[in-house]
C-alpha cells in the first residue's frame, strides 16, 4: 500500500514502492526481475531487513540491471561478491553506514553521480569491465580501491578523507579527480596508460571560521553528508575528516543543531591549503602519470619507478624547507629528506648531549628535541594517524634512496625544460649526498664548501657574497702586509677588486712577496666565485 510522504517509485500494478509492498508482492516482483526486468528501488528507504529480503537467495549472487536513484540505505550495506549483470544506478543515493562491494563484478556501468556514503566505501578486489566514469560522489571516511581492476580507462571523481589504491590495476589508465583535503595513497598499482591526478571542481569547503585571538586553532563546522546546489553539476561537501589529520594531536568533536542539520566541530591547526594530498607513490610505475594542483608535502617518492617520467604541473605544492638552521634556504623538498633529517637530528642531539638520551614528555629536554625535529619534519609533512595503517612502511629511508628519488625528479623537470624547478631537486640531491654516511670524508668536505660558497651552483646570492667577502678579506691582508709602501684601505679594496677579474689589470703598485701571493690567490678565487655566480644565476632564470 502507498504510504503518505513516501518518495519511493511505485511498483506496478501495485500502489506502493518496494519498501511498502507486502511480502508476497515483493516475491512476485522479484521473480519478474529475475526474468530480465530492471530492479526499481528509486527513492526507497532500505533497512537491513528489506535489503536482505530483496537480495538474499533471489538472484544467486547475479544482479540484473537495477536503479536505486535517490534511495537511502540504513546501517552498513554489503554487496560483497555479487555480480552485477546490467547497469547499476545509485544516482543521488545516500548510504548512512559503511558500504562494501568487496570482490564484486560490474559487467556494465556503475553510476555513483551525486551519491553520498556516510562511512567507508570498500571497492577492494572489485572488477569493473565497462565502467568509464565514477562520480562525483562523496565518501565520509575512506574510499578503498585496493586490488580492484578497471579494464577500461576510467574517470574517478570523488571526495574522501582517504583514497587508497594498493595493487590496483588501471588497465588503460585513470583520471583521479579528488575533493579538497582528500588524501591519496597510490602504492604498488599498475597504470596501463596515460593517467592524471588532480583536483575536482565538483566540491568545495563551506566553513564557519571563528578564531579565538588567544589561540592559533580554528573551528571548522562540518555538515555531515552533502547537498546539491541550484546547479545540478555542483556539489557542496563541507568536509570529511573521520579523525584528526597528522597535524592534529587531538580532535575536539561536538554536535549541535543548526537549521535542522547536524554539524561537527573540529578544532585543529590551520592547514595551509585545501588542495587534495598525495601521500605515497611507492612501488608504482609513474611513467605517463601527471599530477596537477595537488599537495605533495607528505608524499613518499622513494621506491616509485620511472620518476624521471613523472610530470608535475600546475604548481605542485612540495614542501618548502623551514629556515631553521644555519645556511638553510627556502626550497622545495620531498618528505623522505624530512624523515631522514629528523632521525639525524635525534642522533646528533643524543651524541652531543649523552646525559639527555632519556627525556620525559613535557620536560625541557623533550621540548628542545621536539623543536629541533620540527624544523625538518613539521606537521604538514606528516600522515594522518587514521591512514598510517594503509602505508606499507613508515620507516625513514636511506640517504642513497633519497638521492635516487631526487635525481629522477630533477631529470623529469629538466626534460620539460624547467631548469629553475629542477634546481631545488638538484640542491636536495647534493644535500643527501653530503649527509650520507657512505660519502667519504674528503668528498663531504668538498660538498660542504660547495654548499657554503654557492649553494651547489644554484644560489647566486651565496656566490656573490663569497666574492664580496673574498675582496674585503684580502683587502685587509693587503693593507697590512701586501704593499712596500703603506696604502689606505680604499686603495687596498680597489686593488683587491681589480685583481679578482681577469678583464682588468691591477694597478702598478709595488707589492711585497706576501702581496704577490695574495694577488695570485685573488686571481684564482675571483674568477671562480664570479663564474659560480653566473652559473647559479643561469640555473634560476633559464627557461
Residue 245 pLDDT exceeds 50: no
pLDDT at 206: 52
Cα–Cα distance for residue pair 195/190, rounded to 1 Å: 11
Q: Are 435 and 340 in contact (CB under 8 A)?
A: yes
Distance CA 320, CA 267 (A): 25
Q: Is the pLDDT of residue 337 over 80?
A: yes
Looking at the predicted structure, is the pLDDT value of residue 211 above 60? Answer: no
- What's the mean pLDDT in 327-353? 74
Alpha helices in 353-390 (DSSP H): 364-376
List pLDDT tens digits, range 99-120.
Answer: 999 999 999 999 999 999 999 9
Residue 242: cis peptide before it, omega within 30 degrees of 0: no
Least confident of 58-62, 92-96, 191-195, 255-259: 255-259
In the prediction, which pLDDT does 339 show? 85
> Residues 475-533: pLDDT tens digits?
888 888 888 777 888 888 888 888 887 555 555 677 788 888 888 888 888 888 888 88
Q: What is the mean pLDDT of the chain?
A: 77
Angle at 249 between CA 245 and CA 252, to 5 degrees: 85
Q: Burial letters for 407-421: b for 16+ Cβ neighbours within 10 Å, e otherwise?
A: bbbbebbbeeeebeb
Higher pLDDT, 173 or 322: 173
pLDDT of residue 96: 92
| pLDDT confidence bin for 270, thresholds 50/70/90 | very low
Looking at the predicted structure, is the pLDDT value of residue 446 above 50?
yes
Q: Which three cell numbers stand for residue 237?
A: 561537501
Q: Is it the case that residue 444 has pLDDT exceeding 70?
A: yes
Q: What phi, psi does 112 have (nearest 5°)?
A: -120, 25
Average pLDDT over residues 452-459: 88
* pLDDT on residue 41: 83
3-state secondary structure 269-330: ECCCCCCCEEEECCCCECCCEEEECCECCCCECCCCECHHHCEEECCCECEECCCCCCCCCC
The pLDDT value given to residue 541: 72
Q: What's the rounded mean pLDDT across residues 317-345?
A: 71
Reported confidence tier of residue 180, pLDDT bands at 50, 70, 90: confident
Asked if residue 135 lies in contact with residue 114, where contact means CB atoms within 8 angstroms, the answer is no
Q: What pLDDT, on a 0 to 100 scale, did the predictor assign at position 492?
A: 83
Cα gap 160→142, rounded to integer Å: 6
Mean pLDDT of 69-94: 91
Mean local confidence (pLDDT), 344-364: 54
For 296-306, what is the mean pLDDT?
91
Quote the CA–CA distance of 346 and 55 in Å, as a whole number: 57
> Cβ(14)–Cβ(40) under 8 Å?
no
- In this predicted structure, the answer to whether residue 57 has a pLDDT above a threshold of 80 is no
The residue whose grid cell reads 609533512 is: 381
Mention every residue, 6+ apart, whose C-beta is less than 8 A from residue 361. Answer: none
Rounded-to-integer distance, Cα 266 and Cα 217, Å = 10
Pairwise pLDDT comparison (359 vs 124), residue with the higher score:
124
Regarding predicted confidence, which is higher, 341 or 61? 341
Give residues with Cβ within 8 angstroms of 313, minimum separation 6.
Answer: 290, 291, 292
State yes or no: cis peptide before 218, omega within 30 of 0: no
Cell digits for 260? Answer: 535542522
What confidence score (pLDDT) does residue 432 get?
Answer: 92
Q: Are the beta carbons of 211 and 192 closer than 8 angstroms?
A: no
Closest C-alpha among 196, 392, 142 to residue 280? 392
pLDDT reading at 268 higher than 50: no
SS3 state of residue 454? helix
Give the pLDDT score at 332.
83
- What's the Cα-to-Cα distance from 109 to each of 88, 139, 190, 463, rounded to whole Å? 6, 19, 21, 61
Give the predicted TM-score (pTM) of the model.
Answer: 0.78
Would you state the pLDDT for residue 371? Answer: 60
- CB-CB neighbours of 375 under 10 Å: 17
Looking at residue 320, its pLDDT comes to 62
Mean pLDDT of 219-232: 33
Beta bridge partners of 268: 218
Asked if 45 contacts 67 with a C-beta cutoff of 8 angstroms, the reply is no
Angle at alpha carbon of residue 168, lines to 164 and 172, rounded to 5°: 125
Task: Residue 85: count other Cβ atoms within 10 Å of its Cβ.
Answer: 17
460-541 is a CATH 3.30.110 domain = no
Dump pLDDT digits (tens) for 384-413.
888 888 887 767 788 999 999 999 999 988
| Residues 240, 139 contacting (CB under 8 angstroms) | yes
H or E segment and range at residue 412: helix 399-415
Q: How far is the C-alpha of 475 from the C-alpha of 263, rounded, in Å?
A: 70
Phi, psi of 429 (to 5 degrees): -60, -45
- Are the beta carbons of 406 and 424 closer than 8 angstroms? no
Q: Where are the domains of the chain?
A: 40-201, 460-541
Please, which pLDDT band fits residue 58 given cuts at 50, 70 and 90? low
First to last CA, the chain: 73
Amino acid at each position: 500500500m502507498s504510504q503518505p510522504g513516501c518518495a519511493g517509485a511505485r511498483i506496478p500494478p501495485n500502489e506502493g514502492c518496494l519498501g511498502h509492498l507486502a511480502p508476497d508482492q515483493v516475491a512476485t516482483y522479484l521473480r519478474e526481475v529475475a526474468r530480465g526486468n530492471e530492479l526499481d528501488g528509486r527513492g526507497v528507504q532500505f533497512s537491513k531487513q528489506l535489503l536482505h529480503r530483496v537480495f538474499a537467495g533471489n538472484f544467486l549472487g547475479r544482479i540484473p540491471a537495477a536503479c536505486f536513484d535517490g534511495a537511502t540505505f540504513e546501517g552498513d550495506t554489503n554487496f560483497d561478491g555479487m555480480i552485477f549483470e546490467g547497469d547499476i544506478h545509485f544516482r543521488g543515493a545516500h548510504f548512512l553506514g559503511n558500504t562494501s562491494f568487496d570482490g564484486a563484478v560490474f559487467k556494465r556501468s556503475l553510476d555513483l553521480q551525486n551519491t553520498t556514503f556516510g562511512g567507508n566505501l570498500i571497492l577492494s578486489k572489485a572488477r569493473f569491465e565497462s565502467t568509464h566514469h565514477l562520480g562525483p560522489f562523496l565518501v565520509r571516511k575512506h574510499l578503498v580501491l585496493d586490488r580492484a581492476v578497471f579494464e577500461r580507462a576510467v574517470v574517478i571523481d570523488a571526495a574522501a578523507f582517504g583514497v587508497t589504491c594498493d595493487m590496483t590495476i588501471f588497465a588503460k589508465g585513470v583520471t583521479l579527480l579528488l575533493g579538497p583535503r582528500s588524501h591519496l595513497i597510490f602504492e604498488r598499482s599498475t597504470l596501463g596508460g596515460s593517467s592524471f591526478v588532480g583536483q575536482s571542481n565538483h566540491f568545495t569547503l563551506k566553513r564557519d571560521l571563528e578564531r579565538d585571538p588567544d589561540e592559533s586553532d580554528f573551528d571548522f563546522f562540518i555538515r555531515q553528508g552533502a547537498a546539491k546546489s541550484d546547479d545540478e553539476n555542483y556539489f557542496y561537501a563541507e568536509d570529511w575528516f573521520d579523525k584528526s589529520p597528522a597535524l592534529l594531536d587531538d580532535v575536539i568533536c561536538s554536535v549541535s543543531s543548526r537549521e535542522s542539520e547536524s554539524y561537527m566541530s573540529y578544532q585543529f591547526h590551520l592547514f595551509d591549503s585545501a588542495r587534495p594530498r598525495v601521500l605515497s607513490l611507492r612501488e608504482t610505475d609513474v611513467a605517463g602519470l601527471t599530477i596537477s594542483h595537488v599537495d605533495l608535502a607528505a608524499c613518499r617518492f622513494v621506491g616509485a619507478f620511472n620518476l624521471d617520467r613523472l610530470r608535475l604541473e600546475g604548481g605542485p605544492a612540495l614542501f618548502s624547507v623551514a629556515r631553521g638552521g644555519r645556511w638553510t634556504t627556502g626550497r622545495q623538498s620531498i618528505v623522505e629528506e624530512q624523515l631522514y633529517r629528523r632521525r639525524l637530528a635525534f642522533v646528533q642531539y643524543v651524541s652531543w648531549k649523552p646525559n639527555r638520551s632519556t627525556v620525559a614528555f613535557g620536560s625541557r629536554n623533550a621540548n628542545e628535541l621536539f623543536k629541533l625535529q620540527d624544523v625538518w619534519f613539521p606537521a604538514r609533512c606528516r600522515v594522518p594517524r587514521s591512514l598510517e595503517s594503509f602505508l606499507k612502511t613508515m620507516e625513514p629511508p636511506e640517504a642513497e634512496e633519497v638521492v635516487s628519488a631526487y635525481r629522477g625528479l630533477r631529470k623529469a623537470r629538466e626534460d620539460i625544460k624547467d631548469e629553475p624547478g629542477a634546481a631545488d631537486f638538484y640542491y636536495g640531491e647534493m644535500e643527501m649526498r653530503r649527509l650520507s654516511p657512505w660519502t667519504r670524508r674528503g668528498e663531504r668536505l668538498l660538498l660542504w664548501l660547495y654548499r657554503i660558497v654557492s649553494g651547489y651552483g644554484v644560489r647566486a646570492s651565496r656566490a656573490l657574497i663569497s666574492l664580496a667577502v673574498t675582496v674585503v678579506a684580502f683587502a685587509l691582508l693587503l693593507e697590512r702586509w701586501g704593499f712596500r709602501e703603506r696604502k689606505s684601505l680604499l686603495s687596498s679594496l680597489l686593488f683587491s677588486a681589480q685583481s679578482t677579474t681577469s678583464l682588468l689589470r691591477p694597478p702598478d703598485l709595488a707589492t711585497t712577496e706576501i702581496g704577490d701571493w695574495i694577488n695570485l690567490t685573488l686571481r684564482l678565487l675571483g674568477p671562480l666565485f664570479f663564474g659560480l655566480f653566473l652559473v647559479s644565476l643561469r640555473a634560476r632564470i633559464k627557461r
